[in-house]
Structure 1
């Protein structure tokens, strides 16, 4: 289960532990908890996410989508495996709805620089569970 951490206001400092795997876990934790200020503090200002259906350029645009435009904000990222080798980190998991049903499986590949997430490439597959 994701833990809830208190977030600060405004531009927060990078995560205390700049380890890429810890940053990736903090990303999912903040997103699942709806802590968008904390989410923003983990991302570099020029953060970019590329996913099969669209690209988000800039931290502010990405956070605005996650906060205000996602079709379903009551979800949980079930992280199954973290691959920490390299300058970034890869994560394999499943996105679950409020009832614990799988919406889709994903692999996220994060780039990290100066203790912040700078880019995210998301690969997703629709759930085969009916």
Structure 2
């Protein structure tokens, strides 16, 4: 790891996604990032990730409440809740995310929720 602690990077991720600052958010990931969500195609590469956050993400106007952050080597696990809107309807649900680092950047991300699609 370099100067930036993985936990700080991951906490910044949630701040940026909630603020809609997607260019800054995508900069936390490496060029070959792979983002996997159950039952949906993986998102591969920084450009595809930016497109997902700008156009493809069904969640909006929400905020993440991070309950637990566990760091184990190059992996940061997060448990929390999200409250916001999905397709115009108010939603609130639990999530677990796993961020795997290569150096100072997130290389792989996995999201698990109690909803079908996020």
- The bucket for the TM-score relative to the shorter chain is 0.7 to 0.9
For 1:26, the equivalent position in structure 2 comes to: 12
For 1:45, the equivalent position in structure 2 comes to: 31
The question of whether the paired residues in 2 share the 8 Å contact of 1:66 and 1:73 is answered with no
**1:72/1:114 Cα in 2 relative to 1: closer, same or farther (>3 Å)?**
same
Find the residue that maps to 2:59 and give its secondary structure. Answer: coil
- Select 2:52's aligned residue among 49, 60, 65: 65
Higher strand proportion: 2
Q: What are structure 2's unaligned runs of at least 5 residues?
A: none
Query: How far is the alpha carbon of 1:69 from its aligned partner?
Result: 2.0
**1:84/1:102 Cα in 2 relative to 1: closer, same or farther (>3 Å)?**
farther
Give the CA RMSD over aligned residues: 1.7
Mapped partners of 2:59, 2:16: distance in 1: 16
Would you identify which runs of 4 or more consecutive aligned residues in structure 1 move more than 2 Å? none
* TM-score (structure 2 length as normaliser): 0.83
**1:94/1:17 Cα in 2 relative to 1: closer, same or farther (>3 Å)?**
farther
Find the residue that maps to 2:13 and give its secondary structure. Answer: helix
